[in-house]
């Protein structure tokens, strides 16, 4: 099994370019099931989850040519359509559930495995199923599979999500595109990746518009036309590199990303002492000599502070002057990195969904174990500023969501290598 060896402390200095967004690309790829004509998608990140989604689409009958070097995929339909999304493909990736709405909307049937992904909380699919049921989908769950069908096309209706859910919003948008009539979705998630999915579907002729901050109107159409689309850049990768520069007192230029998308994160980094200059598609960040603490940082739905950057910010606050706290309000099991950070010397106390962090930590190298995607990168960040040589095991979690992270880190001054 592969692992990283990181020798610290290192200072981050130089320039990097941000890859395409995994969290935008996955629902976009799932939604190509709705199309009969050729679809071209550009700026795909070369990460494991994308390979898994492409293999899932191939198993369902899509013909796919993936130019990995150019990060472009061409998708056309075979004559034979399959409706079975197997556990072997869906088990490692939460986004596998997104083929459900597309299959039922386009073909009126599907057998889809209940999904897997990171072990960061329950993340139930009931929000997805309740919304699709209101559109007319009938289903049974047998032996870990959702057996779904509808006798005729889905029908537009009014749906209000009882809780803001990114995945359920995406699945319902996809399903409603080909439904008969008008669908009104209230209390939607409005993450940038959802806006990217909407823009992709609109490029194929879908009729989707916001009629309120969290309210969408979708007018069903008969079919979507051929389209070519470039996926947005990854905001979590951008935020991670911003934290890395800040953590090491570094100086980093980040290219190929619109800073307006992460206003909240940049304003927090300014509060801890970073100097930040932004241009149209660039962020220039210099880390402070002394990192300031943050009290009661709370993870919430976009446009607030994202749960996907909670672990990275926790590492930053371990090095801050004074005490900090983070409340995790999205997932109930997202402090799994804390035990590993303690192995490096961090002083963190967990009470329910709140972490109390003592600052001024002098991280000392240790052998570490990754538990999920974002926790893995937090351990890498901590190892970068730890004294000595740290080993990070189970880095397959990282490969699911970060493209060539060790190559990017090496280019900006980090002593990191991948070993078997």
SS (H, E, C) the chain: CCEEEEEECCCCEEEEECCECHHHHHHHHHHHHHCCCCEEEECCCCCHHHHHHHHHHHHCCEEEEEECCCCEEEEEECCCCCCEECHHHHCCCHHHHHHHHHHHHHHCEEEEECCCCCCCCCCCCHHHHHHHHHCCCEEEEECCEEEEECCCCCECCEEECCCCCHHHHHHHHHHHCCCECEEEEECCCCCHHHHHHHHHHHHCCCEEEEEECCEEEEECCCCCCCEEEECCECHHHHHHHHHHHHHCCCEEEEECCCHHHHHHHHHHHHHCCCEEEEECCEEEEECCCCCECCCCEECCCCCCCCHHHHHHHHHHHHCCECEEEEECCCCCCCCCCHHHHHHCCCEEEEECCEEEEECCCCCECCEEECCCHHHHHHHHHHHHHCEEEEEEECCHHHHCCCCCHHHHHHHCCCEEEEEC
Catalytic residue selected from 10, 118, 177, 242: 118
Structure tokens at 278: 């932004």
Backbone angles phi, psi at 257, to 5 degrees: -155, 140
d(CA 187, CA 271) in angstroms, rounded, equals 31
Q: Which CATH number fits domain 3-19+233-419: 3.40.630.30, 3.40.366.10, 3.65.10.10, 3.40.50.720?
A: 3.65.10.10
pTM for the model: 0.96
Q: Is 246 a catalytic residue?
A: no
Predicted local distance difference test score (pLDDT) of residue 122: 45
Identify the segments of the chain with pLDDT beneath 70: 116-123
d(CA 403, CA 45) in angstroms, rounded, equals 6
Whether omega before 303 lies within 30 degrees of 0, making that bond cis, reads yes
CA-wise closest residue to 301 among 330, 331, 260 = 330
Predicted local distance difference test score (pLDDT) of residue 158: 98
Instruction: Show the CA angle centred on residue 376, arms to residues 281 and 293, nearest 5°.
Output: 70
CB contact set of 88 (below 8 Å; sequence gap of 6+) = none
Torsion angle of C-alpha atoms 312, 314, 318, 321, degrees rounded to 10: 110
- Contact between 348 and 378 under an 8 Å Cβ cutoff? The reply is no
d(CA 250, CA 17) in angstroms, rounded, equals 16
**Which residues in the chain are classed under CATH 3.65.10.10?**
3-19+233-419, 22-230
Structure tokens at 7: 């020798």
Q: Which CATH number fits domain 22-230: 3.20.20.70, 3.65.10.10, 3.40.50.300, 3.40.50.2300?
A: 3.65.10.10
Would you tell me how many other CB atoms lie within 10 Å of the CB of residue 410? 14
d(CA 382, CA 401) in angstroms, rounded, equals 18
Predicted local distance difference test score (pLDDT) of residue 117: 52
Predicted local distance difference test score (pLDDT) of residue 357: 98
């Amino acid at each position: 099994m592969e692992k990283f060896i990181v020798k610290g402390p290192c200072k981050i200095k130089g320039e990097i370019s941000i890859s395409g967004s995994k969290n935008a690309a996955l629902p976009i790829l799932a939604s190509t099931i709705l199309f009969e004509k050729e679809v071209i998608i550009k700026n795909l990140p070369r990460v494991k989850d994308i390979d898994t989604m492409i293999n899932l689409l191939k198993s369902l009958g899509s013909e796919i040519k993936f130019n990995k070097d150019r990060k472009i995929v061409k998708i056309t339909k075979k004559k034979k359509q399959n409706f079975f999304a197997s556990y072997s493909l869906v088990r490692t990736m939460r986004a596998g559930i997104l083929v459900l709405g597309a299959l039922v909307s386009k073909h009126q049937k599907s057998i889809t495995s209940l999904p897997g992904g990171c072990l960061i909380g329950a993340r139930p699919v009931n929000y997805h199923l309740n919304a699709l049921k209101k559109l007319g989908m009938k289903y049974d769950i047998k032996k870990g599979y959702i057996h779904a069908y509808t006798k005729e096309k889905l029908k537009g209706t009014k749906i209000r999500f009882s809780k803001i859910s990114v995945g359920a919003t995406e699945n319902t948008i996809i399903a409603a595109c080909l439904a008969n009539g008008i669908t009104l979705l209230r209390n939607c998630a409005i993450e940038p990746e959802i806006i990217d999915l909407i823009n992709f579907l609109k490029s194929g002729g879908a009729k989707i518009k916001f009629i309120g901050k969290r309210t969408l109107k979708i007018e069903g159409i008969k079919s979507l036309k051929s389209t070519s689309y470039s996926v947005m850049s990854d905001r979590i990768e951008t935020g991670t590199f911003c934290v890395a520069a800040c953590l090491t007192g570094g100086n980093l230029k980040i290219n190929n990303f619109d800073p307006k998308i992460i206003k909240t994160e940049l304003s927090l980094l300014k509060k801890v002492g970073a100097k930040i200059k932004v241009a149209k598609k660039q962020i220039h960040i210099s880390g402070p000599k002394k990192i300031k603490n943050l009290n009661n940082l709370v993870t919430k739905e976009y446009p607030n502070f994202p749960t996907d950057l909670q672990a990275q910010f926790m590492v930053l606050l371990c090095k801050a002057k004074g005490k900090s706290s983070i409340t995790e309000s999205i997932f109930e099991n997202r402090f799994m990195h804390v035990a590993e950070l303690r192995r490096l010397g961090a002083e963190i106390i967990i009470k329910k969904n709140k972490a109390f962090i003592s600052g001024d930590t002098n991280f000392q190298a240790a052998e570490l174990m990754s538990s999920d995607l974002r926790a893995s990168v937090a351990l890498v960040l901590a190892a970068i500023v730890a004294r000595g040589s740290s080993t990070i095991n189970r880095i397959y979690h990282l490969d699911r969501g970060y493209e060539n992270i060790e190559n990017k880190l090496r280019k900006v001054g980090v002593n990191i290598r991948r070993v078997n």
